[in-house]
Amino acid sequence: MTVNAVPTKEAPPGRWVPWLVIGLWVALAAVMVPLSGKLSSVTTDKAVDALPASAESTKVAALEESLPGAEDNTFVFVYHRAGGLTSADRATVERHYDTLAGRYPPKTVMSGEEDDDGPSIRPSTNGKAIMFTLDLSTTYGPPEELVGPLRDATKDRPAGLDLEVTGPAAIDGDLDAVFDGIDLQVFLTTVIVVTILLVLTYRSPVLWFVPLIVVGVAALTSMATVYLLVKGFGIVVDNQNSALLTILVFGVGTDYALLLIARYRETLHHHQNVRVAMIHALRGAAPAIIASAATVVAGLLCLLAADLNSISGLGPIGAAGILCALVAMLTLFPAVLVVLGRRIFWPAIPRFNMAVQEKPGAWGRLGTAISRRRWVATLGSFGILAALCVGLTGNTGALREQDQFLSPPESVTGFTVLRQNFPELGGQPMTIYTRPAYQKQILDVVKRTPGVARAEPGETVQGWTDISVYPADAPDTPAEYDTIKRVRTAVHAVNGAEAIVGGPSAENLDTEVTTSRDEKLVIPLVLAVVLIVLGLLLRAIVAPLVLMATVVVSFAAAFGGSVFVFETLLGFKGIDYSVPLLAFMFLVALGVDYNIFLASRAREETVRLGTGDGMLKALSATGGVITSAGLVLAATFAVLVSLPLVMLVEVGFLVAFGVLLDALLVRSVLVPALTLLIGRRIWWPSRLSRPPAEAPPTGRHSPAGRHSPAGRHSPAGRHSPADDEEPALQR
């Protein structure tokens, strides 16, 4: 097909405009880039910071921080020998304890059994292990700075005597070590992945460099913006959200670049002046890009309704990143391309040509095949999605804190050893705070509660006394959570005690309960907001409903397929509590993106060609660039799979798999097939859904125009792709 390019008479914008835009961005970068490095200084990894202030475990943590010495870091030292401890082993433990107690004078040393000479070191009843606990003041430093020196100080041991330094503070220290430098690692890995994909996409030695630099500027600007938001509004930013911010900006920013370059390359064939060509490219691509960004931003801001601080904080963080990417790719990126001119596309430089030959290509042939076998394409797509949904019958239970590491650190394996040799200590201890006058009553009530292995009174400070309670069941199990619930019910029944129950497992329980509540509120809200944005963009009702339905089914299939991989291939022991909501958020918002790019182009072409041919033309025109965008976005999220935390691996794999499923199957096959089956009614109630006879007279139809000479069937008697469509209405 040959398209005649008409030389434009439109006056090009001044040469100074692109340079002005670049200058403004240089000035902005000079201010924002130094601030981007400060983001890590305001991130937090404390589980309690993620919880809402109303959670009971949050109240316990806040009370601990307000009481002198109550915020100490607790480390547990577990020594064990498979054949049983020797006298030399016991002497070594005592020497280590004396050394540590001298170096870090503890407020208390709890080992359970105490005598008149002070706290003792606790041996196990099986004679194979011995342990003691150190509560170190925070004045000595945070857990990540303490756990290393503590392990170094206890390395001199007899052969065969093993030691694990564990406890809540050790787990916090190991978790911080996982996130140490994670922002830089994610940034560099993402840059490398995006660079490789851009080089493969453009097959140009220079073009790939421009979007990469601009997206990098957008990422640094977004990090500085988030830092200012945290300082100004107290938003909670954890290291996971910080990593997701980098991935999100690079992913969507590169997608926007691919879409704009595709349009720009197309307009360069029709306009000799590069500035005029860019204006036309922006007119064609910007509405879909802006609608895409608006959809993602609107969906992310729905997270503000969540009670979980880590989830609600991701809303403005992600929205700031998307907006920074949008502004950079619609201002700085076009300006740089215009300044560099056509030569940036070398060696495949698009030339101005009065007669441009349009080839159907692979996507055009795919569209033709779908139009001939639309029912096969529809049912086949749904069959694949349904098969993947079967994976939802697998293990979708919550991931325990001890199972969140790909390679369990010493603090996690130490809990297993502790439970094997000291079953009376159960899991992680609960902490109860109550008024001193009710300490004995609360202690008696707790000891009688089923599931409690042991309860010990603590100190009284400033009108509060604490009690340590050891559940009989393993940490973060349903049985332990049931025990926590029973303990809370029992102590709350004591009037006047004002008892509250917290601790690590209680925090995890409150997190799980809060997340469940957030899912029920946020997911319908996201669906409603995204549906409204689609309706406004497409000016229809049926099309947005169809697109949303395909995205939801695609999410279910991606989740089911991912669960199968996690359980069968990777051996994960559950799904992190935050993964379903985060994955839904990203896949619905980002998955709708590709449908927006396709549907908006289809609507544009429908005005000229009718719904069927318009969709096929849109698929042919956008298939390559949208698929490339999907591959880039999937690859950027797949960067998370390289990190050592199960939660990030699950989010990265699920979103990457879902994006590929949406880009390669849902958007490429299912949506076009459904559109061909539904016909012009897909645009209801807009005027595009009405046959020409119902449209206002335009003077272009004869009285007999209601029945086209071509009729409903081609001369050959075969049903052609556009047979279901009347001639398209003009605007």
Comparing 70 with 645, the larger pLDDT belongs to 645
Ranges 54-63, 124-133, 678-687, 720-729: which has the least confidence: 720-729
Q: Per-residue pLDDT averaged across 557-569, rounded?
A: 90
Average pLDDT over residues 408-420: 84
Which tens digits make up the pLDDT trace of 367-391?
888 988 989 999 999 999 999 998 8
Residue 130 sits at φ, ψ, to 5 deg, of -150, 145
**Assigned token pair, 302:** 């729905």
In 10 A of CB 720, how many CB atoms?
Answer: 16
Rounded mean pLDDT, 263-280: 83
User: For the chain, first and last CA: distance in Å?
Assistant: 24
The arithmetic mean of pLDDT across residues 520-529, rounded, is 89
Task: Judge whether residue 205 has pLDDT over 60.
Answer: yes
The pLDDT, as a whole number, for residue 4 is 46
Strand partners, 119: 114
Section 534-551 average pLDDT: 87
What is the chain's alpha carbon radius of gyration, rounded to the nearest angstrom?
Answer: 31
Q: What is the pLDDT of residues 650-678, one digit of tens each?
A: 988 999 999 899 888 988 899 899 988 88
- Architecture of domain 539-695+710-731 in CATH? Up-down Bundle (1.20)
The average confidence (pLDDT) of the chain is 81
Show me where the domains of the chain are located: 1-36+181-357, 72-178, 419-509, 539-695+710-731
Structure tokens of 576? Answer: 């992190």
* pLDDT given for residue 356 in this prediction: 52
What number of other Cβ atoms are within 10 A of residue 682's Cβ? 28
Residue with more model confidence, 41 or 670 = 670
pLDDT tens-digit readout, 304-327:
888 888 788 888 998 999 999 999
DSSP, collapsed to helix, strand or coil, labels residue 514 as helix
- Residue 154 backbone dihedrals phi, psi, to 5 degrees: -120, 25
CATH class of 419-509: alpha beta
pLDDT digits 0-9 by tens, 64-78: 877 775 567 888 899
How sure is the predictor about 720, in pLDDT bands with cuts at 50, 70 and 90?
very low
- Separation CA 414–CA 171 (nearest Å): 10
pLDDT recorded at residue 419: 81
CA neighbor of 272 nearest in space, from 621, 22, 3, 10: 10
Helix, strand, coil fractions of the chain, as percent rounded to 5:
65, 10, 25
Q: Name the range with the highest mean pLDDT among 107-111, 420-424, 703-707.
A: 420-424
Q: How confident is the model at residue 494 (pLDDT cuts 50, 70, 90)?
A: very high
User: What's the pLDDT at 696?
Assistant: 47
Place of tokens 């902490």: 431
Res. 700: pLDDT tops 50: no
- Mind listing the pLDDT tens digit for each residue in 457-493? 888 888 899 898 988 887 778 888 999 999 999 999 9
pLDDT for residue 432:
93
pLDDT at position 80: 93
In which band, very low, low, confident or very high, does the pLDDT at 709 lie, cut at 50, 70 and 90? very low
Look at residue 244 in the predicted model and tell me its pLDDT.
Answer: 82
Residue 585 pLDDT more than 60?
Answer: yes
Give the pair of three-digit tokens for residue 36. Answer: 């981007």
CATH H superfamily, domain 72-178: Multidrug efflux transporter AcrB pore domain (3.30.70.1440)
Ranges 5-14, 37-46, 315-324: which has the least confidence:
5-14
Q: Which CATH architecture has domain 1-36+181-357?
A: Up-down Bundle (1.20)
Q: Tell me what the mean pLDDT of segment 425-434 comes to.
A: 80
Query: Is residue 545 within 8 Å of 694, Cβ to Cβ?
Result: no
Neighbours of 632 (CB within 10 A): 26
Give pLDDT, residue 355: 53
- Confidence (pLDDT) at 416: 83
**Is it true that 1-36+181-357 and 539-695+710-731 share their CATH fold?**
yes
Q: How far apart are CA 697 and CA 277, in angstroms?
A: 35
